[in-house]
Amino acid sequence: MAQEQIHRHNIGTLLRHVHLGGSVSRATLAERMGLNRSTIMALTSELGAAGLVREAPPTDTRRAGRPSLLVRARPDWAYVLAFDVAVDRLVAARVGLGGALLDRREAVRPRAGADLEHVVDVLAQFGRQLYEAAPPDSVCVGIGASYCGMIRPGDGMVRFGPDMGWVDQAFGAELSRRLGLGIPVRVGNEAHLGALAEQQRGAGIGFQNLLYLHGDVGVGGGIIVGGKLLDGDGGYGCELGHMVVNPYGGRPCGCGSHGCLEAEVGERALLDAAGRPADLWGRDALRAVVDDADRGDELAREALRRIGDWLGIGVANLINLFNPGMVIFGGMLRDVYPGAAPQVRHRIATNVLPVARERVRLSTSALGDDSTLVGAAELGFADLMADPLATLARTTAHA
Amino acid sequence: MAQEQIHRHNIGTLLRHVHLGGSVSRATLAERMGLNRSTIMALTSELGAAGLVREAPPTDTRRAGRPSLLVRARPDWAYVLAFDVAVDRLVAARVGLGGALLDRREAVRPRAGADLEHVVDVLAQFGRQLYEAAPPDSVCVGIGASYCGMIRPGDGMVRFGPDMGWVDQAFGAELSRRLGLGIPVRVGNEAHLGALAEQQRGAGIGFQNLLYLHGDVGVGGGIIVGGKLLDGDGGYGCELGHMVVNPYGGRPCGCGSHGCLEAEVGERALLDAAGRPADLWGRDALRAVVDDADRGDELAREALRRIGDWLGIGVANLINLFNPGMVIFGGMLRDVYPGAAPQVRHRIATNVLPVARERVRLSTSALGDDSTLVGAAELGFADLMADPLATLARTTAHA
């Protein structure tokens, strides 16, 4: 590892601490990064000169000794554009350094028949509006997008978007071209980004190993292993929705197989189990089943128990594999989980080896329906965190 | 990251390249590590002065220009002791820096009823013999052990050894005490170590994401994610043998549940499917089924097909989760896989999403029955690779 690399690593790490932590004292930064205070001071000065952070005296001066200056992200200058292509909506937002959501646009998306042209049209228009409404001296340092499908990491190609029937659509490149800001659009799978968002700003803070299960029509997954998103060789890992749990006699799955986890616990499985008509679908229909169960409707309760048993088998398998500290239920599973929790816990007790379940916790997502959007914003910030000064030089050159 | 950390990282990385690569030229080291040649020369000198490496002119001098000196591990001086507690045998070996197996002892282990006392007795006696037979000026720099159960990484406590009925047995500490060399015994799960060994010296060289399935009585797993062993919060991850694939009506599993992968594809499942009597067990019985299938015996063939279908479901689920470049079958699965491969490949084609199986390869283990022993040796070398000079100072002080 050479000097230049180390400097880049250190300055990026410091910016990440401040970006995620709000305001952090120089002393805390020195401790967390294992560096002495003069090095921290030098790095902070560089980031300050670049306009990314500011220093301020601490407000709490009760402690004895010379107070350590607080380092804060400057939220009103450097920002990212974040996009979310979900099964039922299209969202765009402007998010400042430090994570504040500064501005936002949203449209309902028809469930079927959304082609690349239409999706990019809506998002690019939102994006231009957000860009033009930003303060004149501010700078867009990155763009991130969340998509409900399998994404090639390098260029944001949608390899497979089952919900819209997309195969090999150049979503990232096309959105970047239409925005015309000269900044590449980084695209990630919605469940991957939801996992990162929950780990950085939600229910998973402090956990190095966590599972995030994201329900929409199907079930996606984001898995953090040793602090990093599991991506695999091509970036296509974490497909826990297609774990076969019911190979003989299981429900047909959208992937062409049978008995996948998402076929047994997805939206359609729950609505069918609750005796709802086949032409009823969507988040509201699903919430109605959960509400009915809460009111004591036996068919709705039994539907949640049944879904809970399959969900529990899937989660138990994943805990055996990943020995995580935390399992987070997001998307529509946030609605489903509370009523299904007894079955999930029973399966964990039955199927997970005792030492692997000693400390695991289960939770619904803390960021709610914004987990994927927050994840997209963090993806937009990734270049800045990896190399703050070079990224800033590149993006301000385009402004 | 501070200067001292960086030096430790660089010198350890250089030693690892030489340890795993045999002999590596200074030029290659500079390229692989992203350092200039004068830094490489300085690091090599330090390792040379410590007695760990030697430099030699290349034998191949056909290329133009000044030839780059080759750096080699000195194999006859620093070594580790490696132990393997497998279901059917106890093995001990002395392994030199660079990976050469220098000396070896082995005993048959009775399948049941082996208590901590007995196992440690045999291994400590082997270990002392190997130590005393080593050249007088050589130095033992670490001790690693492989065990067929769930291990607490910090102290080598066997949390759960299903095959011997061990729960919370202080195997690592006890073996270290009985060896009396003042060196802690690092203990790892056999399938975890098999995975690392195959990645470092076997069928998985060059793969950053790989699955290793290790069959003995049951089925264990070692999973490499982004170049590192997946360990999870407590070190108890990778338990793919207890992935439930047949939840309703599945075979009973040793863990108390039903329909686990190891219940459907383990030794007993295969022997039952092939109509063998219940009192027949072990590797030879299993190989007899494979041989019968090779000779055209229809019942044996059908047994392999049946095991292959369940194995394929498990492997397909894992490929969807991990998007690996390589899947390796080790232990008794090395014998079973060839006859089960058509079913495994069929399940992968049916159940894995196309983009996640684009480049995956399948192989039997290259290190054979020594994969776990080689992994134990590498675990023994881990401290030396992490901090060569400090580890050497500590271990030679005891010699």
| Residue A395: per-residue pLDDT | 86
Same domain, A211 and A321: yes
Best mutation target, A257, A321, A360, A361, to test chain B (most B CBs within 10 A): A321
Question: If you measure CA to CA, which chain B residue comes closest to A7?
Answer: B1
B contacts of A236 (beta carbons < 8 Å): 323, 353, 355-356
| Residue A399: per-residue pLDDT | 54
A contacts of B5 (beta carbons < 8 Å): 34
Residue A156: closest CA among A235, A96, A80: A235
The answer on pLDDT for B124 being more than 90 is: yes
Distances (CA, A) of A142 to A3, A176, A379: 26, 11, 8
Q: Which residue, chain included where needed, has tokens 């393997």?
A: B84
All residues at 6 or more sequence positions from A259 whose CB lies less than 8 Å from its CB, including other chains: A244, A245, A246, A247, A248, A249, A250, A251, A253
Which residue among A235, A247, A359 sits closest to B313, beta carbon to beta carbon? A247
Q: Contact, B385 vs B19, CB < 8 A? A: yes
All residues at 6 or more sequence positions from B101 whose CB lies less than 8 Å from its CB, including other chains: B93, B94, B95, B370
The amino acid at A54 = R
| Residue A61: per-residue pLDDT | 60
The answer on pLDDT for B33 being more than 80 is: yes
CA distance A96 to chain B (A): 27
Same domain, B223 and B301: yes
The answer on pLDDT for A130 being more than 60 is: yes
All residues at 6 or more sequence positions from A386 whose CB lies less than 8 Å from its CB, including other chains: A8, A12
Residue B227: closest CA among A225, A150, A199, A210: A225
Last-in-domain residue among A20, A54, A73: A73
The answer on pLDDT for A81 being more than 80 is: yes
Residue A142: closest CA among A398, A396, A397, A395: A395
Separation of alpha carbons B105 and B382, rounded Å: 22
B contacts of A226 (beta carbons < 8 Å): 225, 228, 230-231
Assigned domain for A240 exists: yes
Q: What is the mean pLDDT of chain A?
A: 94
- Mean pLDDT, range A13-29, rounded to an integer: 94
Q: Contact, B173 vs B120, CB < 8 A? A: no
- Mean pLDDT, range B350-367, rounded to an integer: 94
- Mean pLDDT, range B53-64, rounded to an integer: 77
Write down how long chain B is: 399
Contact B160 A359 (CB under 8 A): no
The answer on pLDDT for B65 being more than 90 is: no
Which residue among A1, A233, A353 sits closest to B325, beta carbon to beta carbon? A233
Q: Contact, B362 vs B329, CB < 8 A? A: yes
Last-in-domain residue among B21, B49, B73: B73
For chain A, the domain total comes to: 3
Assigned domain for A180 exists: yes
Contact A245 B240 (CB under 8 A): no
Same domain, B82 and B65: no
Question: If you measure CA to CA, which chain A residue comes closest to B160?
Answer: A355
Write down how long chain A is: 399
Best mutation target, A242, A255, A352, to test chain B (most B CBs within 10 A): A242
Contact A313 B247 (CB under 8 A): yes
- Mean pLDDT, range A242-266, rounded to an integer: 95
Prediction ipTM score: 0.94
Assigned domain for B200 exists: no
Distances (CA, A) of A222 to A197, A204, B319, B336: 10, 12, 15, 33
Best mutation target, B225, B326, B348, to test chain A (most A CBs within 10 A): B225
Contact B317 A320 (CB under 8 A): no
Which residue among A239, A321, A354 sits closest to B237, beta carbon to beta carbon? A321
Same domain, B166 and B251: no
Of A59-63, A79-83, A201-205, B250-254, the poorest mean pLDDT is in A59-63
All residues at 6 or more sequence positions from B242 whose CB lies less than 8 Å from its CB, including other chains: A317, A320, A351, A352, A353, B253, B255, B257, B260, B261, B262
Question: Cα angle at A56 between A54 and A62, to 5 degrees?
Answer: 155
Assigned domain for A198 exists: no
The answer on pLDDT for A319 being more than 70 is: yes
Which residue among B208, B244, B322 sits closest to A245, beta carbon to beta carbon? B244
CA atoms within 13 A on the CB side of B350: 19
Same domain, A376 and A350: no
CA distance A332 to chain B (A): 21
Assigned domain for A343 exists: yes
CA distance A358 to chain B (A): 9
The amino acid at A13 = T
Domain with B308, as residue range(s), is: 205-366
Same domain, B220 and B278: yes
The answer on pLDDT for B399 being more than 70 is: no
The answer on pLDDT for B61 being more than 70 is: no
Assigned domain for A208 exists: yes
Q: Indicate which CATH number applies to the domain containing B20.
A: 1.10.10.10
- Mean pLDDT, range B221-230, rounded to an integer: 97
Q: Indicate which CATH number applies to the domain containing B151.
A: 3.30.420.40
- Mean pLDDT, range B193-215, rounded to an integer: 97
Contact B209 A243 (CB under 8 A): no
Q: Which residue, chain included where needed, has tokens 């819209």?
A: A164
HEC secondary structure over chain A: CCHHHHHHHHHHHHHHHHHHHCEEEHHHHHHHHCCCHHHHHHHHHHHHHCCCEEEECCCCCCCCCCCCCEEEECCCCEEEEEEEECCCEEEEEEEECCCCEEEEEEEECCCCCCCHHHHHHHHHHHHHHHHHHCCCCCEEEEEEEEECCEEECCCCEEEEECCCCEEEECHHHHHHHHHCCCCCEEEEEHHHHHHHHHHHHCCCCCCCCEEEEEECCCEEEEEEECCEECCCCCCCCCCHHHCECCCCCCCECCCCCECEHHHHHCHHHHHHHCCCCCCCCCHHHHHHHHHHHHCCCHHHHHHHHHHHHHHHHHHHHHHHHHCCCEEEEEECHHHHHHHHHHHHHHHHHHHCCHHHCCCCEEEECCCHHHHHHHHHHHHHHHHHHHCHHHHHHHHHHHC
* pLDDT tens sequence across A351-369: 999 988 888 999 999 999 9
| Residue B4: per-residue pLDDT | 85
Antiparallel, parallel or unpaired: β A70-73 and A23-25: antiparallel
Same domain, A330 and A221: yes
Separation of alpha carbons B18 and B33, rounded Å: 12
Given pLDDT bands bounded at 50, 70 and 90, which one contains residue A62?
low
Best mutation target, B167, B168, B322, B357, to test chain A (most A CBs within 10 A): B322
Same domain, A217 and A256: yes
* pLDDT tens sequence across B20-29: 998 899 999 9
Same domain, B181 and B287: no
Contact B243 A355 (CB under 8 A): no
* pLDDT tens sequence across B126-155: 999 999 999 999 999 999 999 999 999 999
How far is C-alpha A186 from the chain's CA centre? 13
The helix/strand/coil state of B40 is helix
Separation of alpha carbons A16 and A19, rounded Å: 5
A contacts of B234 (beta carbons < 8 Å): 323, 355-356, 358-359
Same domain, A237 and A328: yes
Share of chain A above pLDDT 90, in %: 85
Same domain, B273 and B337: yes
Assigned domain for B352 exists: yes
Q: Which residue, chain included where needed, has tokens 């055209």?
A: B296
The answer on pLDDT for B305 being more than 60 is: yes
Contact A231 B226 (CB under 8 A): yes
Residue B240: closest CA among A212, A316, A310: A316
Same domain, B82 and B59: no
Last-in-domain residue among B48, B73, B98: B73
| Residue B396: per-residue pLDDT | 81
Q: Which residue, chain included where needed, has tokens 């709802």?
A: A276
Separation of alpha carbons B213 and B192, rounded Å: 9
Assigned domain for B186 exists: yes
Given pLDDT bands bounded at 50, 70 and 90, which one contains residue A233?
very high
Sort A324 into a burial class: Cβ within 10 Å, 0-12 / 13-18 / 19+.
buried
Best mutation target, A5, A10, A322, to test chain B (most B CBs within 10 A): A322
CA distance B152 to chain A (A): 9
Bridge partners, B224 (sequence order): B210, B229
